[in-house]
Structure 1
């Protein structure tokens, strides 16, 4: 997925920059009647990925069906900038709602990135439980205080898996492999905790880097592996499930300017999307994996020693994380007791 050029992003931003200003008329006392307000919702995914079809579109439909004089305009595929650019735009009010990975949000509040720590959550249900049990409340408050951005909800967009030209079944199998990890601090910490040698390569350049042998392997959710055709340049898909690929739904200052009725409609729409996402991701992944097996396009390794990986990463994070980041990690693990 390519971002728009700088000039195109500027034009897109110019088209929506005035929108949040219209929300001020709604007031925040629950009794505003400033007419219809429009929210912009941005994300980096293609229109056929679950984050769009079962995420952004569900939020849009839920809000607009509520009949509270509120509409949502979606800008997919990084049309309004990459992750690092968009969180700044959410803070400034140029984008109202964004779907972001926790690691990208760490640019404005570092401890939130710990949500993406390797094996922090054993599965999508554990992540959902953390966000619905109240255990996340302190993190949400601290994030809001640091960034003036609200976390409305979160889901797992599937577990991240390893691909390489040899199987990865245990931590020792990563020795000597040049594994591509995203360049955000939490992902690089994950590489260390997993025992991998991290090599930074842009997502858009990953296929070519694998094809040319610049890197030996990589890690991504199955839907991303499929979207970039990585099975064409990798021999093994090792089902390590080493990280729940988090998506947080965040909202900037416009959220605080909504009426209580509009806030409730938006909150309910986000909750609906959060509820639907696991089924959508599971269906998409099953279709992809069934296709791989039918076409024999890549060998699927399903006997990965995830317990060995999990024990290793847990010990590493408890020893190396500090302060608020360690507190977040411990709160995640405590929520699973």
Structure 2
């Protein structure tokens, strides 16, 4: 009887040990996600961004955006999709800037002259004839000082400046030849919606009229304005040669293209995607710089082939234009301070070739 009882107890203990062993080998229970399903890993998150711009598909802005799209979609292995919107299809310059700042337009490419209403510090780039030549301008755009400017100004305006590049200088164009400052008296010239540009052309004796890019061709065609100013790229790609037959090489300000991401979008990204954004845009800027010089010569020749007369402005005329631009320098100093203007001009002198 005792033996039978011992066997029963031993069997019970063996069974209990097996149960405890199996329980220890089982996988721990997974906590349920708050939405009732398992939480998705960060790597499965996908992103779809709008990339807005005012120019055509032929501009360097578009080509830079297109290269960025190609690079980041490949590198992210499908996690990122970028939709390009050219020709102001997302709205006027002001509408696109508002959408960019509030995050509905994730990426935007334009020019520095769009920015002062939102970030006053970028008025530095509107100082007439600040850059003596294209080599100096390009050296400045890759300088430490320029990086510091972006860190100081961009995010306060609601966007992260990802890259700068140029399409040369902006040139004066008109429906009549202009050889001297006196020839500008009374001409109606379209400018961007930028108070410094308005002040500059008014100081030269012209009648400056702010107008959105999307309205320019029609207003030139209808005689609402007689003149405008743009780089060769924009002039040719929008067929302004059909309504303007003279380009005066005034080189008054650089056509500095900007590529930015909405701060709210950028800050919401995981570290790996954010790094892809930075790296892919840096590579896109290198790509555009490689295109820029060749495109400048190609566009200039294309304009001449369309019957446009190109007039190099004499050095003494350019010097007079710069001297008459002093009210613009005064405006910028008043708006953003003497110190930063002096630092900006000193930084240009430092990289001057």
TM-score with structure 1 length normalisation? 0.79
Shift of 1:323: 4.5
Shift of 1:159: 1.6
SS of the aligned residue for 1:33 comes to helix
C-alpha change, 1:34 and 1:330, in structure 2 (3 Å) is: farther
Separation (CA, whole Å) in 2 of partners of 1:240 and 1:200 = 19
- Tell me whether 1:287 sits opposite 2:298 in the alignment: yes
- Asked if the contact 1:178/1:217 (under 8 Å) is kept, the reply is yes
C-alpha change, 1:263 and 1:160, in structure 2 (3 Å) is: same
- Tell me whether 1:135 sits opposite 2:145 in the alignment: yes
SS of the aligned residue for 2:229 comes to strand
Separation (CA, whole Å) in 2 of partners of 1:104 and 1:173 = 28
Equivalence for 1:256: 267
Q: How does 1:4-43 map to 2 (within 5 A)?
A: 32-43=42-53
Equivalence for 2:80: 70
Aligned length, in residue pairs:
307
Equivalence for 1:225: 235
- Segments of 5+ residues of structure 2 without an aligned counterpart are 1-38
Alignment counterpart, residue 70 of structure 2, candidates 43, 61, 82: 61
Shift of 1:325: 5.6
Alignment counterpart, residue 166 of structure 2, candidates 156, 167, 171: 156
Separation (CA, whole Å) in 2 of partners of 1:139 and 1:189 = 24
Equivalence for 2:255: 245
Separation (CA, whole Å) in 1 of partners of 2:214 and 2:268 = 37
- Segments of 5+ residues of structure 1 without an aligned counterpart are 1-24
Shift of 1:311: 3.4
Bigger drift between 166-175 and 244-253 goes to 166-175
C-alpha change, 1:137 and 1:193, in structure 2 (3 Å) is: farther
Equivalence for 2:286: 275
- Tell me whether 1:186 sits opposite 2:201 in the alignment: no
Bigger drift between 245-254 and 195-204 goes to 195-204
SS of the aligned residue for 1:154 comes to strand
Separation (CA, whole Å) in 2 of partners of 1:278 and 1:170 = 33
- Tell me whether 1:87 sits opposite 2:97 in the alignment: yes
SS of the aligned residue for 2:219 comes to helix
Shift of 1:301: 0.6
User: Which has more radius of gyration?
Assistant: 2
Shift of 1:259: 2.6
SS of the aligned residue for 1:136 comes to helix
SS of the aligned residue for 2:144 comes to coil
Alignment counterpart, residue 129 of structure 2, candidates 110, 119, 131: 119
Separation (CA, whole Å) in 2 of partners of 1:80 and 1:274 = 23
- Tell me whether 1:265 sits opposite 2:285 in the alignment: no
- Asked if the contact 1:210/1:217 (under 8 Å) is kept, the reply is yes
Equivalence for 2:336: 324
C-alpha change, 1:234 and 1:72, in structure 2 (3 Å) is: closer
Equivalence for 1:48: 58
- Asked if the contact 1:124/1:278 (under 8 Å) is kept, the reply is no
Equivalence for 1:236: 246
Shift of 1:52: 0.8
Alignment counterpart, residue 175 of structure 1, candidates 173, 182, 185: 185
TM-score with structure 2 length normalisation? 0.76
Extract structure 1 runs of 4+ deviating beyond 6 A. Answer: none
Separation (CA, whole Å) in 2 of partners of 1:123 and 1:283 = 17
Bigger drift between 322-331 and 175-184 goes to 322-331
Equivalence for 2:19: none
Q: How does 1:286-305 map to 2 (within 5 A)?
A: 286-295=297-306, 297-305=307-315
- Asked if the contact 1:99/1:250 (under 8 Å) is kept, the reply is yes
SS of the aligned residue for 1:241 comes to coil
Separation (CA, whole Å) in 2 of partners of 1:219 and 1:201 = 12
Equivalence for 1:334: 346
Equivalence for 1:22: none
- Asked if the contact 2:127/2:329 (under 8 Å) is kept, the reply is no
- Asked if the contact 1:41/1:97 (under 8 Å) is kept, the reply is yes
- Asked if the contact 1:158/1:245 (under 8 Å) is kept, the reply is yes
Residues 270-326 of structure 1, C-alpha deviations (whole Å, 9 max, x = no match): 11222222342333332232234345x121112443641563266444333214265
